[in-house]
A and B are shown apart, each in its own frame.
Chain A
Amino acid sequence: MSALPSSRPEKPRVGLFVTCLVDLMRPSVGFAAVKLLEDAGCLVEAPVQTCCGQPAYNSGDRGTTRDLAMRMIETFHGFDYVVAPSGSCAGMIRKHYPELFEEDPNWRAKASALAAKTYELTSFLVDVLGIAEVDATYHGAVTYHDSCSGLREMGVKAQPRLLLSSVKGLSLVEMKDSDVCCGFGGTFAVKYSDISGAIVDAKAKNVADSHAPTLLAGDLGCLMNMAGKLSRDGIPVKVRHVAEVLAGMTDEPAIGLAKEAAPRQDQP
């Protein structure tokens, strides 16, 4: 892994925005992000945090969203950068926080300042730190799903692929329609369960047709949706967050696999 440019005298202080889902469901993704950032020469802290407010925002509850956004803005105020292992949650801050305070110039300025220094993880590593390779090994083929917000709000497409190409033993196989939504959509998956089910059905078929034994993506919501569908349909594909593979931290069972029943299936 390349070091930071030498013109930087001090380590950048990065606030890790863990995101709710990683915090609650899969903390190992958060620790993989910490490792990647520390290996890249960052000083990483994870301040006490809750939610960026996206579920409320997309449900039309602007009041709750603003409350949570103000809390986030204060929490991450002092960091050089804010990095999230999620294009969706980072996109919420980058693209939508400033829109929340259109009538409040004071908070709008604060929101814009936070927005400007907030990044999705792989995009931060590649676009800001200039990193092109990681020190990791993963045996076998993987296919990569482009999560919608990361792709369309944060421009995340080439960065994870570039980093994955440096992982020893790994080959990337593109599936058909990798840039088409998996049908998660937050509360959509529950509110419009049948439609969401049909969309993820198409996605699962494309994953299966790629014949890659591992599926990666950069957003845990999409990953849980796809992993849940693949296991429901009995398609034996291991599903992981891309950070786990890039950090070489694949000891934990893949998403939806058991700790006790399936120890260390990943690395032969």
Chain B
Amino acid sequence: MTVHTTSPQFKQNAARALHDSQLQKALGNVKQGFIDKRQAAADKLPEFEALRDSARDIKNHTLEHLDLYLEAYEQKVTASGGHVHFARNADEARRIILDICRDAGAKTVTKGKSMISEEIEINRHLEANGIKPVETDLGEYIIQLRNELPSHIIAPAVHLNATQVEQDFRRVHKQFDAKRDLSEPVQLLTEARAVLRERFLAADVGITGANFLVAETGTSIIVTNEGNGDLTQILPKTHIVLASIEKLVPTLEDVSQLLRVLARSATGQEMSVYTTFSTGPRRAGDADGPENYHVVLIDNGRSSMLGTSFEEMLRCIRCGACMNHCPVYHAVGGHAYGWVYPGPMGAVLTPSLIGVDKAGHLPNASTFCGRCESVCPVRIPLPKLMRHWREREFERHLAPASVRSGLGLWGFFARRPSLYRFATRAAMATLGFAGRQRGRFSWLPLAKGWTKHRDFPAPQGETFQARWQRERNRRTA
């Protein structure tokens, strides 16, 4: 683990997010935009549900034979003139990347969007070693200016409004006329494009992520909407692909199936604007391409998930549909989760990668509404996996003492029906009597969490079981 994590302070992060009016305004866009578009795209494709099954099966098959596919992939990349480097953890990955950059004599590095690069915190490492990393995805570029982490895995700057971006551009882009008009989003885009064009041409190394790696051909694939990924990997002399090991799929045919669910689940597009396949360095006769092609395959905790109940999480293809549909994400945004991956997929993955002792809040901060699972293109049972984390926490006594003792008391009575009926009868009679005037309580001892935001409706007084017994006695008398 490398990135500064605030996951242990999830509650405080969430409270701050709920009071951040800029953030709340921006989050409104998540609720409206993604959901309807995904639904429309799914509705237009009769075989969409069958494709989800197929996507799940492809990833399951790959994970079962991951060692074989990794080897096959490495051979193909090597045969095509590229280099594969295996990194067990973030430290190793950073060292490998820095070495490649130094060999290339790199002063600046352009970067396509890559979540694994956030995970290994490569930007900070390159900067510390005198190499300037430049994010080229517009959202990533914006948050790099702000020194922030992505708040969403496919829309990294979704927590921001256009006026905030305008302020950042005016602060950083001093080369332009201070009186220029930046009131329209397209003006912001044009300005970023002008700045980035220079960077693309100056870069010595281009770093991209990978949506998929194909064992059959040794190909890495990125999907983007801005074309920045292509310029990142084609213009510099050296292209480095960063990918975690679960990005492997066996064949191009498999990729074509996964691509059909990826963009639809993510943005509701049938395909993203660019889907780019890269196999090895530039060959004789190629119009363009890098002279050196490196793939850094990063484990960083994944292999320890294999063979456990969390293996299913490794199917994730990073579409973001789970967070787009999550009421908790809608309420607090991505930064509250406190590490690289937010939303339901983050709530399962983060404890696996940084430890449940640090990320214990994340799998608990879910209503288990199940909407994430209902839209996941590879059918990851996210609530079930979050529950598995809660079980691990309970076993390790990481759950809060108040929760344990409350549950223990409840369990004690629930195991003893006679005592339960006696105790609940008395308790409900008391509560019902106390609440008869107003029908609700605006404050109750031991229920502050509830009554802080809502009233507690008073019980009717007599329990069902008491009345049922009374009436049945009367019926049979």
Contacts and interface: CB of A to CB of B under 8 A. Distances in A.
Interface stretch (A6-14, A113-121, A146-154, A158-166): A146-154
B387 A196 contact: no
Given A48-B417, A60-B399, A181-B371, A18 B464 contact: yes
Interface stretch (B106-114, B122-130, B434-442): B434-442
Interface string B451-477: 011111111101111011000000000
Most A C-beta atoms less than 10 A away, residue of B371, B373, B389:
B371
A25 B459 contact: yes
Contacts of B413: 50
A262 B439 contact: yes
Interface stretch (B187-195, B263-271, B325-333): B325-333
A181 B463 CA distance: 28
B436 to A, nearest CB: 5
B365 interface: yes
B457 A228 contact: yes
Contact of A228 (B332, B407, B450): B450
Contacts of A67: 411, 415
A193 B411 contact: no
B463 A27 contact: yes
Contacts of B442: 232
B366 A185 contact: yes
Given A71-B415, A228-B455, A228-B456, A58 B463 contact: no
A51 interface: yes
B439 A58 contact: no
B30 to A, nearest CB: 13
Nearest to B412: A64
Contact of B411 (A58, A64, A189): A64
Nearest to A253: B439
A67 B408 CA distance: 13
A260 B458 CA distance: 13
Interface string A40-58: 0000001011110101111
A252 B458 CA distance: 13
Contacts of B387: 57-58, 60
Interface stretch (A127-135, A136-144, A197-205, A210-218): A197-205
A98 interface: no
A107 interface: no
Contacts of A200: 453-454
B172 interface: no
Contact of A51 (B393, B414, B453, B465): B414
Contacts of B407: 55-56, 59, 61, 64
B274 interface: no
B237 interface: no
Contacts of B428: 24-25
Contacts of A26: 459-460
A200 B411 CA distance: 28
Given A24-B459, A189-B450, A193-B449, A59 B399 contact: yes
B287 interface: no
B11 interface: yes
A93 B145 CA distance: 51
Interface size band for A:
35 or more
Contacts of A260: 436-437
Contact of A197 (B373, B414, B415, B453): B453
A255 B457 contact: yes
B414 A68 contact: yes
Interface string B366-410: 111111011000000000100101111111000110010001001
A23 to B, nearest CB: 4
Given A185-B367, A256-B440, A25 B460 contact: yes
A236 to B, nearest CB: 13
B447 interface: yes
A181 B372 CA distance: 12
B253 to A, nearest CB: 32
Contacts of A199: 327-328, 330-331, 367
Given A27-B460, A27-B463, A148 B368 contact: yes
Contacts of B410: 51, 55-56
Interface string A13-33: 000001000111111101100
B364 interface: yes
Most A C-beta atoms less than 10 A away, residue of B366, B437, B460:
B460
Shortest Cβ-Cβ A-B pairs, 3 listed: A185-B367, A197-B453, A60-B390
13 contacts: A24-B428, A46-B468, A48-B465, A181-B371, A184-B367, A187-B403, A194-B14, A195-B332, A199-B327, A200-B453, A229-B455, A232-B442, A256-B440
